[in-house]
Structure 1
Amino acid sequence: MLSRLLCCAVGSALLVSPASATEDDFNIWLGQFATINASDDVYIRLEAQERFTNDADRLGQLLLRSLVGYRLSKDVNIGAGYAYVRTNPVGPAELNEHRFYQEFNVRLISTEGGLTLDSRTRLEQRTFVERGGTAWRLRQFVQVRVPITRHNKIAAYTEPFVDLDRTGVQRGGLSIWRNFVGVSVPLAKGVEVVPGYLNQYVVRDGQDRADHTFNVNLFATF
């Protein structure tokens, strides 16, 4: 019963969008995530993401991110890190972003059957070389995983992005809303791939945009 309720809740979230988009784009996003356990309490996370935009015809964004985390308990951890993001859109000038961030992670539900519900709250400080200044952004990520076979799970998440101020690079208020659904496929001990569909709705001062994305992420834990 709990799994059905959670699936319904996440399914409803996936159907929500702020308004009808006036511009659509097909993307392919690839991600590689490595978690290295330095000790029982301390871990390091490294990741790279390649985002092919404009009908997946070009590398529109490259993201490199690192984090050092600390486990406060079995279900709660905190972390802080740095990310470099290069965005190369069609038309506007290329942007190089240096991003510091802090996050708070909580496992809200974990059952013997393998169902999990996780929350991540992330605060970002975004600095752009070309435009100067620092922009603050809050992201709230909630993910559910529901077993469907002995080894596979449905994975679904929702993540709104809220700009805490208005600068030359962000508009203030709700700016992005991502919703994802996919399937986790284990490849080896501590290694899994999660392919799926991601919808990214971008709120803009002009026309809003909806990115329809084939997203494939590879996760490894050492």
Structure 2
Amino acid sequence: MRILAIICAVFGTLWAAPAAATEEDFNVWTAQFIFFNLDEDKDWYARFEAQERFTDDADRLGQLLLRSFVGYRISDAVNVGGGYAYILTDPVGPVEVNEHRIYQELNVTLFDNGNGIRLTSRNRLEQRFYEESGSTGWRYRNLVQFIAPITERNSIVLYTEPFIGLNDVPFNREGVANWRNFAGVSFPLTRELSFTPGYLNQYVVRDGEDRVDHIVNLAVFARF
């Protein structure tokens, strides 16, 4: 499958780049996503999620994220919407950070062959507010995801996502602040539930030494 080989090669290049960083950490991230329709025509839908991120060699809960979203399907290939997220970050040493986030999304299917091979793009613009700071951080994220069946039931999932700060305020770095790359496999559990375990590599740009997080990422999806 030529397109899969190309995408894997691109991901390999991205994962090789962070090797120069001098600090690394092992994490375990768990996530639960719920999707459901809000009307009979299935034009409007909602998404709720919770994410628990165990950091510092997966020894402690370093971050908790709760996010909600309401979207509208313009077509089968395009939907838009917005939502709210609360993020509690509790690093070792510095004081914990309470973040409130408003965001807008544009989701586009770039390619779909009708047999399970899909390429999608999620564009997210975030406004980040911190209880510990009076500033507002603006950030843009673009997640490009590739899905392809590898058996009759299971699919490979690959994605890449840069985080680009649009202004420079406390807790929000201007320019590329971090970059995530993921490779995993989606397993259907029931008609409504699926489980996607995989490896997530996160490169974090900092004022001092940059950091690489090696993450076991475990996500459960429920669609009703």
Bin for the TM-score computed over the shorter chain:
over 0.9
Alignment of 1:1-150 (within 5 A): 3-16=1-14, 17=17, 20-39=20-39, 40-150=42-152
Runs of at least 5 residues in structure 1 that lack an aligned partner in the other structure:
none
Aligned partner of 1:194 in structure 2 is: 196
Residues 11, 79 of structure 1: alpha-carbon distance in 2 compared, 3 angstrom cutoff:
farther
Aligned residues: 220
CA distance in structure 2 between the aligned counterparts of 1:221 and 1:15, rounded to whole angstroms: 34
Secondary structure at the residue paired with 2:68? strand
User: What's the offset of the Cα at 1:171?
Assistant: 2.1
The whole-number CA distance in structure 1 between the counterparts of 2:103 and 2:8 is: 26
- Contact 1:29–1:49 at 8 Å: present in 2 too? yes
User: Does the Cα contact within 8 Å between 2:18 and 2:212 map onto a contact in 1?
Assistant: no
RMSD: 1.1
Greater than 4 Å deviation, 4+ residue runs: none
3-12 or 102-111: bigger deviation = 3-12
Aligned mates of 1:112, 1:41 — CA distance in 2: 21
SS state of the match for residue 55, structure 1? coil
Q: Normalized against structure 1, the TM-score is what?
A: 0.96
Task: Say if 2:162 and 2:179, in contact at 8 Å, map to a contact too.
Answer: yes
Are 1:63 and 1:85, in contact at CA under 8 Å, matched by a contact in 2?
yes
TM value normalised by structure 2? 0.95
CA distance in 1, matches of 2:139, 2:18: 18
* CA deviation profile, 1:129-177 (whole Å, cap 9, x unmatched): 0112110000010000111000000000000000000001122100010
Report the Cα offset of residue 12 of structure 1: 1.4
Q: Residue 2 of structure 2 aligns to which amino acid in structure 1?
A: R
Cα distance between partner residues in 1 of 2:50 and 2:69: 12
Amino acid paired to 2:86: Y
The DSSP-based 3-state class of the residue aligned with 2:6 is helix
In the alignment, is the contact (CA less than 8 A) between 1:14 and 1:158 conserved in 2? no
Query: Which moved further from structure 2: 81-90 or 104-113?
Result: 104-113
Q: Which runs of 5+ in 2 are unaligned?
A: none
**Aligned partners of 2:70 and 2:83 also within 8 Å:** yes
Check whether the contact 2:148–2:156 (CA below 8 A) recurs between aligned residues.
yes
Q: What do the CA deviations read for 1:7-56 (whole angstroms, capped 9, x no partner)? A: 42244134313561110000000000000111210001000000000000
Deviations 1:45-73 (A, max 9, x none): 00000000000000000000000000000
CA contact (8 A) 1:164 1:173 kept: yes
